[in-house]
Amino acid sequence: MTMVSSSMPPEPGMAARAAAWLAMALRASWPFAAFFIGFFLVWEYSVAIFKIPGYILPTPSQIVSNGWADIPRLLDYTLITGAESLIGYLLAICIGVPVGLAIAFWKPLQRTVYPFLVSLEMVPKIAFAPLFIAWLGFGLLPKVIIVVLVCFFPVALNAIHAFGSLSDELTRFCRSTGAGPLRTFWKVRLPAALPQCFVGFKYAALNATVGATIAEFMGSDQGLGFYIQIATGNMRPDLAFAGIFFLTLLGLALFGAVSLAEKLLIPWHITLRRH
């Protein structure tokens, strides 16, 4: 290594900069990493020390090895729950944003639909899950509807707020240019509303997998929620934990994708926050 680097021109190369970055990242995050690893170590050995039976609390190593043995089914179910969450989430956005837009711009709706939505927001949406299962059966549709239900409100309410809160100055500026409503929308109102819309999208992304899982608890024959319920019934908490792990991955993936979209669509906002 020393031979190679001494024969290279003495400039800070990619490798050196990457190493420096890695060192910095390690320095910044080692307390977290240490705590994270420590948590699982304490878990692993407490189970042995306190002689907790496996059907009550499995060790992390049991979860990994037994989960690995059942990996095809877990992956299969991850896809199913993922599809329910994703379809419901995207539908909620496709419905919620236009509804928010309409309410923000059309006064009669503000006096009728808006108060109705706000009072519905008080209702725990998940309580409707058994009804939808009863009405629509065990298939994909009731799950998607329940996901839409839990994702729609944060999306719509934030969209109303986003499109209804352009500053007086900017509104007047646009009017003084003589620009029509459509041009004003594309050039100013829409980009100005995006940050607040993403607040709703991110919140809804957290809700999506929750909705899908609970819908599966209520009645299904596949998916991670179903898997967790069956595993628990069979006194196999190790497999239930494996299912929870994949659910977590699913939630992280969805939230990560939304965050990435935010970064790509409104980089100026992210930079703004960092300053």
Please state the closest distance from residue 229 (CB atom) to another protein, in A.
46
Query: Which one of 15-23, 73-81, 184-192, 217-225 is the stretch in contact with another protein (CB under 8 A)?
Result: 184-192
Cβ-contact 80, 223 below 8 angstroms: yes
Q: Which is nearer to another protein, 119 or 167 (CB)?
A: 167
DSSP, collapsed to helix, strand or coil, labels residue 148 as helix
How many residues belong to the site for another protein (CB under 8 A)?
A: 23
How many residues does this entry show for the chain? 275
Please state the closest distance from residue 115 (CB atom) to another protein, in A.
24
CA-closest candidate to residue 95, choices 181, 204, 190: 204
The burial class, CB within 10 Å (0-12 / 13-18 / 19+), for 2 is exposed
Residue 184 sits in the site that holds another protein (CB under 8 A): yes
Q: Which is nearer to another protein, 188 or 230 (CB)?
A: 188
Judged by CB under 8 A, which of 187, 234, 257, 261 binds another protein?
Answer: 187
Q: Which is nearer to another protein, 55 or 268 (CB)?
A: 268
Please state the closest distance from residue 16 (CB atom) to another protein, in A.
29
Residue 264 sits in the site that holds another protein (CB under 8 A): no
In the window 156-175, what residues touch another protein (CB under 8 A)?
167, 169-170, 172-175
Cβ-contact 201, 258 below 8 angstroms: yes
Which residues are within 8 A (CB) of 26 and not within 5 positions of it... i.e. 6 or more apart?
A: none
Euclidean distance between CA atoms 244 and 48, whole angstroms = 22
CA-closest candidate to residue 155, choices 107, 89, 212: 89
Q: Which is nearer to another protein, 193 or 231 (CB)?
A: 193
Query: Which one of 71-79, 85-93, 148-156, 178-186 is the stretch in contact with another protein (CB under 8 A)?
Result: 178-186
Euclidean distance between CA atoms 238 and 185, whole angstroms = 53
Token look-up 């935010």 returns 262
Judged by CB under 8 A, which of 17, 111, 183, 263 binds another protein?
Answer: 183
The burial class, CB within 10 Å (0-12 / 13-18 / 19+), for 212 is buried
Q: Which is nearer to another protein, 83 or 266 (CB)?
A: 266
Query: How many other C-beta atoms are found inside a 10 Å radius of the C-beta of residue 62?
Result: 18
Residue 191 sits in the site that holds another protein (CB under 8 A): yes
Judged by CB under 8 A, which of 7, 176, 221, 233 binds another protein?
Answer: 176
Provide the binding-site residues for another protein, judged by CB under 8 A: 167, 169-170, 172-179, 183-184, 187-188, 191-192, 266, 268-269, 271-272, 275
